Structure 1
């Protein structure tokens, strides 16, 4: 079933008309959860555009038109260095986006200079909703598989090489009573690498998507197993323990043991 984007109708009309006002725009698409799944009443609208010439100039023109045409509460602009060939911002069309008592209206816009060859991997990003591409510049094709395989291989090799150092760092922080440090290290060295390995095993095209989309990308029940390893109240895996240190120790060791299982299968 197609996502219901009706609460963004005014934005979509503006986006469709933008190229008439900003001729440098060559391609404008909607992507993100609107096309990959998971869209709900609190999803933002992900917009990606490509242009000829200087992307910053086109971005400024697009943002000025949006401000003039829509009731913009505020804009978060990412630093210029975020994208080597473009700019990104989050346009809030209502105050207090964290107030989920009403549907969210927030637009994530990225404007980049059109590369010599513009492609999009639908395995990773879904099939985009194309609002403007009169010259057919956007090609839907898979990313370079050799390059992706090299990235996956490196991730596995690093997980193997880092395994003992990572566990030592977490255990040491727990033993010292440094709960904040231990929690951060547990997430960074135990949970996140585990999820990367699970992704390599079960959804290799999205191996680098981190902790997002676990319920759609991993086999049924696996997201819940990962969540049971996160910091928080005692669950079924740690009912016999009570202190935060004890809970984190149990969960960290369980995460590393799961890493070992997946590494044994991958290597």
Structure 2
């Protein structure tokens, strides 16, 4: 399967966020430190639907906290904000992130979702985005043409992939023992956690390395867009269930199969 970002030929319908897009487009006039504002996430990578949030990323001059606070204050004043979850300041070394809910009870999927995932960061010396990994962003503000579409360092990613393969192979027997032991002891919660950590997640990492290496570290997300047809369903059949021991053994056997091909 070719290593490519998900299909971007179909333009998603973002109309339920029209008020937010207008707010964001005008924002740099009111927060002058903002240099670049884009929409990314499923709106540009694929998988957009009526329950997708709107992923917003912005870069600014100076400390990100000041621009972040200004943006969030304006959003509270001018958008129908129900509540905000702000991630701890230490989450981003050069920025801040929050989830802005524009309606109560986001888990109520009887209506379209309206939720913003906002990240504000300090402008780096050179701003690049790897479209293979993150899609081509929808640029709302970049008058200086600062954002450059450029692949991430391939040597660095190859080293990360090689280390992941090496570690999965070396950990294979230890992981299987931990899962089987927890099952034998009747520790279902522990066994479930270990099954995901040592059987399923490393398997998916190997499958990503084989089929979509540019997104090798995207975990269990986007399996239907990143892996060959039918493979996501095979992975889902290995998720924790009443026959956990059989699922774990099948997952480790699949790991062995992929490891033979990769090594």
1:266 aligns with 2:262: yes
**Structure 1: 5+ residue runs without aligned partners?**
233-243
Of 40, 46, 62, 1:31 maps to 40
Q: Deviations over 1:84-134 (max 9, x none)?
A: 000000000000000000000000000000100100000000000000000
Deviation at 1:231, TM superposition (A): 1.5
Q: Distance in 1 between matches of 2:185 and 2:55?
A: 44
SS in 2 for 1:103: coil
Cα RMSD of the aligned pairs, angstroms, is: 0.5
Q: Distance in 2 between matches of 1:157 and 1:209?
A: 18
1:173 aligns with 2:186: no
**Where do 1:223-238 residues align within 5 Å?**
223-232=232-241
SS in 2 for 1:208: coil
1:190 aligns with 2:199: yes
Of 146, 167, 170, 1:161 maps to 170
Of 71, 74, 77, 2:86 maps to 77
What is the aligned partner in structure 2 of residue 144 from structure 1?
153
State the TM-score, normalizing by the size of structure 2: 0.96
What is the aligned partner in structure 2 of residue 256 from structure 1?
252
**Structure 2: 5+ residue runs without aligned partners?**
1-9
4+ runs of 1 displaced by more than 6 Å?
A: none
Q: Deviations over 1:204-226 (max 9, x none)?
A: 00000000000000000000000
Deviation at 1:69, TM superposition (A): 0.5
Count matched residues: 254
What is the aligned partner in structure 2 of residue 2 from structure 1?
11
Q: Distance in 2 between matches of 1:65 and 1:219?
A: 44
Q: Deviations over 1:18-43 (max 9, x none)?
A: 00000000000000000111100000
Deviation at 1:144, TM superposition (A): 0.3
Q: Distance in 1 between matches of 2:35 and 2:170?
A: 45
SS in 2 for 1:49: strand
Q: Distance in 2 between matches of 1:170 and 1:129?
A: 44
